[in-house]
Structure 1
Amino acid sequence: MDRQAISSISRVLGHVKSGKQSFIIGITFRVLERCLSILPCVLCFYWLYAELSKVTITTTLLSTPSDYLMALGGVFLLQLICAYVGQQHSLIGSYQIAQDYRSKAISHFRRLPLGVLHQMHSSEFFELFGDDIKKIERIFSYVLPDLLSALMAALLGLVILLFIAPLYALSMCLILPCAFWVMHLLKQRFIHISKAKAHAEKHTRSTLIDYIEALKTLRLFDQTHHWLARVQKQLDVAKQHALQAEMWSVGPLLGYRAVLNMALVLFVVTLALSLPEANTSAMNFDAIFFGVLIIPLLMILNEVAEHFSTLRMAIQSECKVEAFLNKPTLSEPCDPITPQNHSIEFERVSFGYDGIDIINNMSFYAPEGSITAIVGEAGSGKSTLLNLCARFFEPSSGCVKVGGVGLQEIGSENVHNLISVIFEDVQLIDSSILENIRIGKPDATDEEIYQACADAHCLEFINRLPEGINTQVGESGVLLSGGQRQCIAIARALLKDTPIVLLDDITASLDPITQADVVSAIQHLLQNRTVITVSHRLSSIVQADNILVIEQGKVVESGSHRCLLSIGGYYTRLWKAESHVV
């Protein structure tokens, strides 16, 4: 194994805690089982040597054919036991390692900032947690046990050959390094092509997912044929890369086998050259033994090459998962601090993506129990402020505080226990209305859930549904209207009952009647809580205690609705623009 393979295997084992001991036991027995597979050949040669050289009974360990038969039976039985124990322990250990490794990746995924996740396409996650981890699992369940056992058996065979037939074993010692060198040389080209193939497959998956998700819009605009052509073109590119990868995937293996089989040629040449000069009987025995052992030895060495080829592809997957695991997570405190009140403060906060500032040196204070509204043009950083409040992102500089305590000192789990967030695009799971609301409080009773529904004005439409509160909402709540999804999200937030509520433009896509229903439903949620709301409709935030006007990531104006209108500045222009549209 090369350095990269050893590093990849060591990294995986370093990430896990369970299964390693069982896996090592399994590997040990698998190695013993494979080494025992060489002994029958040695016994057969020993019997032939004893018979042909007329060795007396007193000088032999095995004197009769029944002795050889019993010895062979013992070897086969021991081999069977080692195979059973090795297979059992290696599989159990490997699956425990894979499960622990998968759990580590999922746990890391859960702790990543949303900003990191937004930079990755959803198809990358499907591939990472599906195909890539399965390939890594295969390293430990099949490839590594077979590879190590084959390597040790080949090494044992070479040692035996060097002791019994050193002249002929020299051909193997000369050919084997050359075979591995050829395989390594061709491997470099294969790695380059396989990376191009992986990139093409990634782009193909993204194109297909984008096409499926946008199919409704594409049909409405009669653009499906253009996108189908684009998908077909990408599939053709992926096919070409796949064909190249398949052609080159056997290149290292074929080159290795071609060079390795030269050992037989060297054996014949050595035999021909040494025949006239050597003692015929001694030479014949060496040649016979080499001939008996070289065939299974070549088969084992050919298996080694196949396992190396499979291992290389799995290592590429491990490198991808390792790069994912190295993505920085949010720092968490060892001793979290609980804030004494629930005011929110931004203290010279800056934040951006890819070197572009979205929030620039922003400071403001939202007292406990107050309603603070954030308004501004699209792209001014309004939603980013809410994400920073909920610690979905870490500020580039400055500090976000709750009750005078920085979010880093409070810890993500405690922050999320203090905050409820309702987004414009409500996130529902493909389950019943009951289970979607219960997310807010998993141990809530049915009575508590029905009360939250009543306060959120949900019961009226829930009771009209065929299965009531047990009605399935479909994937992402597709079976419900936008207003119904918002009311369910409000009921979920009411059930969670947190002191801080963040609202992300929840009425932006609703019609006036549905908006009025949602505004009415949210009244219970706003009582006695610290609220920060983002809105494009200024008419929905006129009663806010304080309005922050954002422009290019900075607070340019703040105050009540009446105060801001009296200034006649940027807010006034926004208000007049909305009034003109209405």
Structure 2
Amino acid sequence: MEDIKKIFAFAREYHYKLYLAILLATSSVLLGIVPFYLIYKIIMAFLTESVVETSYLFIMSALILILLLAKSYLFLQAMRASHETAFDTLMGMRKSMAEKLIRMPMGEIKAKSSGQLKNIIVDMVEEMELILAHLIPEGVSYLIVPILLIIYIFFLDWRMALAALGTVPISLIIFQLMMKNSQERLEYWFKAGERMNSNIVEYISGMEVIKIFNQTTRSFAKYTDSVKDYEKYTLEWYRESWSYMAAFYVILPATLIFVVPLGAYLYLQGSLNLANYILIMMLAMGLGDPLSRLARFIESITMLKRKSKAINEVLSGPELELRKNELKPANYDISFNNVSFAYDKEEVLTKVSFTAAQGTVTALVGESGSGKSTIAKLLVRFWDPKSGKIMLDGVEIKEISFANLMEAISYVSQDIYLFNTTIRENIRLGNPQATDKEVESAAKLAQCHNFILELENGYETMAGDAGNKLSGGQKQRISIARALLKDSPIIILDEATAFTDPENEDRIQAALNGLISGKTLVVIAHRLSTITEADNIIVMDQGQISAQGTHDELLVSSEIYQRLWQAHLEAMEWNIKLEEAESYV
């Protein structure tokens, strides 16, 4: 129950509404019992009085109607208060989870698929509404009222009180049989649901590739199998449980099963008077509905506990060490001192040391998987090193507040993401205070102004989900414009021109060259011709620095760089031949 208690903690700010909901819900259930008492009074009037006035019956009927209306009204107000609490709390939970994701290392976030995170943040958090809006106010009221009724019946006759509770142990035995191996079953059911969610998200995201290669839902086995597995397991579990469930919900509220025969026996024996016998039967009938409704919540607790655990795993996950200070570097020299890093157990950087001085260009080159992008991501604190230090102006970057560190760095990743808003606002993310003119100036420098004007609504064109209305090269240039607009003293380009054509790449490179005066520029390059003028080129090999120096120095001293340069020249020659061939077509 500890995980559910943590969910309750989010409702602390709205506890007064929650208490009000409990009070109103309990009052509503109590009012629902009173008509049974009034019916008892009517029956007794017919049994004890020779004549029952019509006016008396009208008054009693009117009271029953008023009580039932009052019951409904109080329940409505209880649900209003509890749902306000619930949705305010869900908002707080989602905000906390969003803030938590910002503080978490990217490795922890990437350990879960987007489908899993969507399932937790959207679906599972939404289902916490059952706890806050229903389980607390209704569950408490359905627990309090039966207890009060049983106490009252005990006061009337303890034997009849035990008879009224006779269905409870039988129902509990059935419930235990129904829940046999439920923990293992529930774990598999959740994992099957997570797999299905992940595969659905992957299927939708990869729709273009699926269509190109003619992969329908039938032939896209990963998607189809996960859906069928979830359906098969869920139905099998339900089929095994249906009989038990039906028996449980039939027997539990059938409180008269033992009350009627035992009461009749005691009445005939003379140890129970008729008035109490009739009253206890009426109260026992009123006991059935709250018990049945309470059981529905008890049934949900196991599932809610599992979902609460998943939510709390995210909320209690590891965080980066974040400082809150106003420390800002005076200069922007970057140095890596014996930095090592591992994704889980696989080490990808080993004792990497280098300096990128302010006002210089430092390029990182190497084969795929050599650790180039990891260096860039460590610098922007997507992760922290396993050992060693990353320094900025002689201060370890962990000692600088995350906000000030991010203010100092413009990072253009090879994994580009555009939000589903206008092109203008996607660029303005680099500097929310920028004017339209400044946005367009940055777009011109990034060589994307002309193609933006050719779009249907120019700068007001929506980029689409994840920028899906634009090509890879267009998205890349917009992300570069965003970074240029930010105008930070440190610029990191992680293969930022990978999707641009050679003509635009040269223009972007010229624009960047004009902006790097006095800045620290770190470039991860796939086209070596773009970094031949770099002040220092670092050659990475299997997570270590193999060599570093200028382009001319490395052509002499580094076999790896020679091999990379030769491969680049051959690729350039191949592109030229292709262009010549196309000119003859």
* TM-score > 0.5, shorter chain as reference: yes
Counterparts of 2:244 and 2:296, CA distance in 1: 9
Q: Are 1:29 and 2:24 matched, yes or no?
A: yes
Query: Pairwise mapping of residues 417-456 of structure 1 onto structure 2 (< 5 A)?
Result: 417-456=407-446
Superposition pairs for residues 160-175 of structure 1, below 5 Å?
A: 160-175=152-167
Map of 1:206 onto structure 2: 198
User: Is 1:518 aligned to residue 513 of structure 2?
Assistant: no
Tell me how far apart the structure 2 counterparts of residues 491 and 145 of structure 1 sit (CA, whole Å): 53
Shift of 1:181: 4.6
- Tell me how far 1:146 sits from its aligned partner: 1.8
1:363 corresponds to which of 344, 349, 353: 353
Query: Which residue is equivalent to 1:112?
Result: 104
Alignment of 1:38 with 2:60, yes or no, is: no
Partner of 2:383: 393
1:52-451 pair list within 5 angstroms: 52=47, 79=71, 82-224=74-216, 227-248=219-240, 250=242, 253-257=245-249, 259-260=251-252, 263-271=255-263, 273-279=265-271, 282-451=272-441
- Greater CA drift, 227-236 or 120-129: 227-236
**Range moving further from structure 2, 28-37 or 250-259:** 250-259
**After alignment, is 400-409 or 65-74 more displaced?**
65-74
Identify if the C-alpha distance between structure 1 residues 29 and 466 changes in structure 2 by more than 3 Å, giving closer, same or farther: closer
Q: Tell me the secondary structure at the aligned position of residue 269 of structure 2.
A: coil
Q: Which runs of 5+ in 1 are unaligned?
A: 55-62
**For each residue in 1:398-417, what CA deviation from the matched residue of structure 2 results, as whole angstroms up to 9, or x when unmatched?**
22121111121112221111
Question: Which region of structure 1 is more displaced relative to structure 2, 43-52 or 451-460?
Answer: 43-52
Tell me by how many angstroms 1:311 deviates. Answer: 3.8
Cα distance, 1:191 vs structure 2 = 4.3
Q: Deviations over 1:248-283 (max 9, x none)?
A: 55456434335536753333442454355325xx43
- CA–CA distance in 2 between the matches of 1:78 and 1:507? 69
- SS in structure 2 of the partner of residue 38 of structure 1: helix
1:423 CA drift (Å): 1.9
Q: 1:478 to 1:231 in 2, by over 3 A?
A: closer
Q: Given the alignment, which residue of 494, 515, 519 partners 1:529? A: 519
Q: Percent identity?
A: 28
- Matched residue of 2:181: which SS? helix
Shift of 1:223: 4.8
Distance 1:188 1:21 in 2: 39
Distance 1:174 1:220 in 2: 65
1:25 is matched by which residue type in structure 2? L
Q: Which residue of 1 aligns with 2:10?
A: 15
1:335-383, Cα deviation, whole Å (9 max, x unpaired): 3522221111112211111200011121211111211111111101100
SS of the residue 1:444 aligns to: coil
Contact kept, 8 Å, 2:267 with 2:277, in 1: the verdict is: no
Q: How far apart in 2 are the matches of 1:40 and 1:272?
A: 23
Q: Which amino acid aligns with 2:385?
A: P
Letter in 1 for 2:15: K
Q: 1:429 to 1:69 in 2, by over 3 A?
A: closer
The one-letter amino acid of 2:229's match is V
The letter for the 1-side match of 2:534 is A
**Is 1:480 the counterpart of 2:470 in the alignment?**
yes
Looking at structure 2, the residues matched to 454 and 548 of structure 1 have their Cα atoms a distance apart, in angstroms, of: 31
| Cα separation, 2, equivalents of 1:466 and 1:80 | 55
Question: What is the alpha-carbon distance in structure 2 between the residues aligned to residue 65 and residue 272 of structure 1?
Answer: 27
Deviations 1:94-137 (A, max 9, x none): 22222222222222123222211211111112211222111101
Q: Distance in 2 between matches of 1:435 and 1:262?
A: 63
Q: Deviations over 1:414-467 (max 9, x none)?
A: 111111111224322223221111111111112222222233333333344443
Cα gap change, 1:48 to 1:474, in 2 (>3 Å): closer
Written as runs of structure 1 = structure 2, the 5 A alignment for 1:563-574 is: 563-574=553-564
Equivalent-residue separation in structure 2 for 1:414 and 1:534 (angstroms): 23
Residue 550 (str. 1) matches residue 540 (str. 2): yes
Is the partner of 2:128 in helix, strand or coil? helix
Q: Tell me the CA shift for residue 26 of structure 1.
A: 1.3
Q: Give the match's secondary structure for 1:421.
A: strand
Unmatched tracts of structure 2, length 5 or more: 50-54, 573-585
Inter-partner Cα distance in structure 1 for 2:349 and 2:229: 41
In 1: Cα distance, 2:39 partner to 2:373 partner:
79
Give distance in 2, aligned partners of 1:297 and 1:473. 59
> 2:52 maps to which residue?
none
8 Å contact kept, 1:21–1:93? no
Task: Assess, with a 3 A threshold, how the Cα gap between structure 1 residues 251 and 332 changes in structure 2: closer, same or farther.
Answer: farther
For 1:45, the aligned partner's letter is Y
Partner of 2:579: none
Deviations 1:304-338 (A, max 9, x none): 11222234333332221111112112121133522
Rate the CA distance shift 1:301–1:364 in 2: closer, same or farther, 3 A. same
Question: TM-score with structure 2 length normalisation?
Answer: 0.89
The SS at the match of 1:345 is strand
Give the Cα separation in 1 of the matches to 2:558 and 2:376. 27
Secondary structure of the residue aligned to 2:548 is: strand
Letter in 2 for 1:146: E
Which amino acid letter does the alignment assign opposite residue 286 of structure 2? P
Matching residue's letter, 1:38 = I
Distance 1:549 1:256 in 2: 70
The count of residues paired between Structure 1 and Structure 2 equals 568
The residue type equivalent to 1:24 in the other structure is: Y
Secondary structure at 2:219's aligned position in 1? Answer: helix
The alignment's C-alpha RMSD in Å is 2.9
Tell me by how many angstroms 1:70 deviates. 8.3
**CA offset at residue 389 of structure 1?**
0.5
